[in-house]
Chain A
């Protein structure tokens, strides 16, 4: 149980285009989803916290107009990287928290974004 999927697993796009990454909780409902960015050989950097039906809470320094997050249902959150540039190339990982009584997160497999 507690499986989180991400789609796509990797994507290559041209500079200036937008890319959408999906995060789904497959066998549970997630009241909260988190989006992380990970640079090579580094730890995960929390970008934003997404609660179903409300606006995402972004961490300091993360541009909300650049990284659009939509948590439309209890099983789906999307991250859209708008007008992508090469510096946006990274490994993006989502996680989902099943309910308000636990702080255990279950992580997706990650999405490798390369912007040319």
Chain B
């Protein structure tokens, strides 16, 4: 069985400061991990994914995430927040073979000017 826990329902940062969105996962097998972003009333856009290659994954818009197997974590970071980063972020896990995704509850990123 697989599960995802996004530790924060809301994260509030000031523009120009670093962003950290936390995600822990549980998976019986070798997982694939994803971060998606959703702007209001829009679909989801893939930010980045981990599929057992490099543990530090770089994505679009300056985001990156590090896969830490020992901590079962896949936290999303960005060095400097922009106002346009304000959105809902979802961490997703799927197990190789089944490919059925499990979504975290989402983290709302709020960026203050």
Contact of B106 among A43, A95, A103, A105 (CB under 8 A): A43
Binding site for A on B (CB under 8 A): 32, 34, 36, 41-46, 49, 51, 90, 94, 96, 99-101, 103-106
Some 28 contacts from A to B, beta carbons below 8 A apart, are: A6-B43, A32-B99, A34-B101, A42-B105, A42-B106, A43-B90, A43-B104, A43-B105, A44-B44, A44-B90, A46-B100, A93-B43, A95-B44, A97-B99, A103-B94, A103-B96, A103-B99, A104-B46, A105-B101, A106-B46, A107-B36, A107-B44, A107-B46, A108-B43, A109-B43, A110-B41, A110-B42, A110-B43
Binding site for B on A (CB under 8 A): 4, 6, 32, 34, 42-44, 46, 49, 91, 93, 95, 97, 103-110, 112
Cβ-closest chain A residue relative to B49: A104
What B residues does A44 contact at CB under 8 A? 44, 90, 103
